[in-house]
Amino acid sequence: MATLSRITMNIIRFDQFRVPRPRRWIRLPAAMLLPILVAAAVFFFRSPVLFVSDAGFDYMYGFRRTLGARVSLSLRLFRRVKQVLIAENADPEAMVFAIEEEERRPWAVLGHSRYSRGLNRYALQRADVRVIIIGEDPGPSDPGPGPSPGEGEAERVFPDAALNSWRLGRCAALLAGETGGVVLVFQDQRDFPVRREAFLAGLREESETLVPQYLDPSAAYSSWEQVRCVVLAGPAEAYLGREREIPCLLYSWMDSALTPSSVKVVGDDSPWALAFEALRAPPDGSPYRTVPAAFGIPWGRAGNFERWNRLKKALASRIPQQFP
């Protein structure tokens, strides 16, 4: 009996030192934290995307804006996006070396067409990595120079000139209103007929009375009485400070935060703006692909919710199949 009593007392003493069960209010946050930790681990262990750039481009685009574009692209792709900074006059071998030093096994590498020789050279050496060259808008009839001898052939992506012009035309009509008048369009000499046809088709989708008038950015214009909207699709930023009461559409790499209140819609076809669409679409084997530009409506400039909603729908619209 004495032995049994001692054993019972030892069990009682042991129970006094048992770790208590966690309460429910402790288990619930732990259960919520686990998926977050797993997602973070997957995010950081996935192969990153490398974006080739230089300090001059970052300075022009804006360092804070570049950082925001990197974070946004990283979250949308759910993988890290690293920036490979090279010298503006770097040769192809130096570009390849810089890319290899940054990451041995990237998921994809992309950059502007000014780095096409280095990116094509990297594509030749690393056929297992997706390499994308984002070019400016040369149009379907002039896709730009191909790779040089001894270089691979990277994917080539350009802005969709017809789709972007269609959306600009629809937005211009919505901003101009239903009173009729002139839509002034400033475009540079690189304009192609398909772009004007698409713009006119988009304009006619919303209005039958507005008349587009095309001008070279260097041309002077003084008859503002009938102008209902201005479209700046070329280097005509000098007009941003004039005629503030006329709504403007800006198709430029310019930061929308630096534009006056007259700018209601901004279209951006910079490499950062096209990167997500370029990476999202799988390669289809064609020599080049087109992707839409990134359009946005600066905060508070649409005027009212109804106009904002109509503009958002126009910016998300597609060209009808019957369009040539």
Q: Tell me, yes or no, whether 174 and 52 share the same domain.
A: no
Nearest to 159 by CA among 268, 21, 245, 61: 268
- Boundaries of domain holding 125: 44-159
Please check whether residues 221 and 302 belong to one and the same domain: yes
- For 142-159, give the DSSP string: -----PPTT----EEEEE
CATH number of the domain within which 102 lies: 3.40.50.2300
Name the least confident of 194-208, 211-225, 258-272, 308-322: 211-225
- State whether 143 and 182 are in the same domain: no
Q: What angle do CA 181, 254, 194 make, to 5 degrees?
A: 50
What pLDDT does residue 14 have? 47
Q: What is the mean pLDDT of residues 39-53?
A: 85
Instruction: Kindly list the distances between the CA atom of residue 214 and the CA atoms of 183, 199, 244, in Å, as whole numbers in the listed order.
Output: 9, 11, 20
Q: Regarding beta strands 49-54 and 108-112, do their DSSP bridges make them parallel or antiparallel, or are they unpaired? A: parallel
**Domain termination residue (choose one: 159, 175, 205):** 159
Q: Quick check: 114 and 140 in contact, CB under 8 A?
A: no
Domain count across the chain: 2
Distance from the first to the final alpha carbon of the chain: 102
pLDDT of residue 143: 45
Residue 108 confidence (pLDDT) above 50:
yes
- With a cut of 80, say whether residue 280 has pLDDT above it: yes
Q: What is the pLDDT of residue 270?
A: 92
Do 129 and 207 reside in the same domain of the chain? no
130 with 212, same domain: the answer is no
**Choice between 59 and 52, residue whose per-residue pLDDT is larger:** 52
- Higher per-residue confidence, 105 vs 34: 105
Residue range 121-139: average pLDDT? 84
Tokens linked to 151? 């270089």
pLDDT class for 289, splitting at 50, 70, 90? confident
* Average pLDDT of the residues of the chain: 81
pLDDT at position 23, please?
56
Q: Which of 159, 175, 204 is the last residue of a domain?
A: 159
> So what's the pLDDT on residue 169?
93
Q: Is residue 17 part of a domain?
A: no
**Co-location of 55 and 127 in the same domain:** yes
Q: Are residues 77 and 197 in the same domain?
A: no
In the structure, what pLDDT confidence band is assigned to residue 145 with cuts at 50, 70 and 90? very low
> Is 143 domain-assigned?
yes
Q: What is the mean pLDDT of residues 195-214?
A: 89
Confidence tier at 254 by pLDDT (50, 70, 90)? confident
- pTM to 2 decimals? 0.80
Rounded CA separation 254/239 (Å):
14
Q: Residue 108: inside a domain, yes or no?
A: yes
Read off the pLDDT band of 222 (50, 70, 90). Answer: confident
Query: Range with the lowest mean pLDDT among 11-25, 29-43, 68-82, 155-169?
Result: 11-25
What confidence tens digit (pLDDT) does each residue in 89-103 have? 888 999 999 999 998
User: What pLDDT, on the 0 to 100 scale, is given for residue 181?
Assistant: 87
The mean pLDDT of 187-213, rounded to a whole number, is: 82
Q: What percent of the chain has pLDDT over 70?
A: 79
Joined tokens for residue 89 = 């006059």
Helix H segments across 78-179? Answer: 92-102, 116-125, 161-176
More confident residue, 324 or 216: 216
